[in-house]
Homo-oligomer: A and B are copies of this chain.
Amino acid sequence: MNQLKEALETLKETGVRITPQRHAILEYLINSMSHPTADDIYKALEGKFPNMSVATVYNNLRVFREVGLVKELTYGDASARFDFVTSHHYHVICESCGKIVDFHYPGLNEVEQLASHVTGFKVNNHRMEVYGTCPECTSKEVH
The quantity of this chain's copies bound in the complex is 2
Q: Is the CB of A92 within 8 A of B74?
A: no
A124 beta carbon closer than 8 Å to chain B: yes
A67 beta carbon closer than 8 Å to chain B: no
Q: Please report the C-alpha to C-alpha distance between residue A134 and residue B120 in the assembled complex, in whole angstroms.
A: 7
A49 beta carbon closer than 8 Å to chain B: no
Residues 99 to 143 of chain A near chain B (Cβ within 8 Å): 101, 103-105, 108, 111-112, 114-116, 118-135, 138
Q: Is the CB of B124 within 8 A of A126?
A: no
Nearest B residue to A123 by beta-carbon distance?
B132
Q: Is the CB of B132 within 8 A of A121?
A: yes
A16 beta carbon closer than 8 Å to chain B: no
- Can you report 30 residue pairs joining A to B where beta carbons are below 8 Å apart? A72-B76, A74-B75, A74-B76, A75-B76, A76-B80, A92-B123, A94-B121, A103-B114, A103-B115, A103-B118, A103-B119, A105-B111, A105-B115, A108-B108, A108-B128, A112-B130, A115-B132, A116-B130, A120-B134, A120-B135, A121-B132, A121-B133, A122-B133, A123-B130, A124-B131, A124-B132, A125-B131, A126-B131, A127-B129, A127-B131
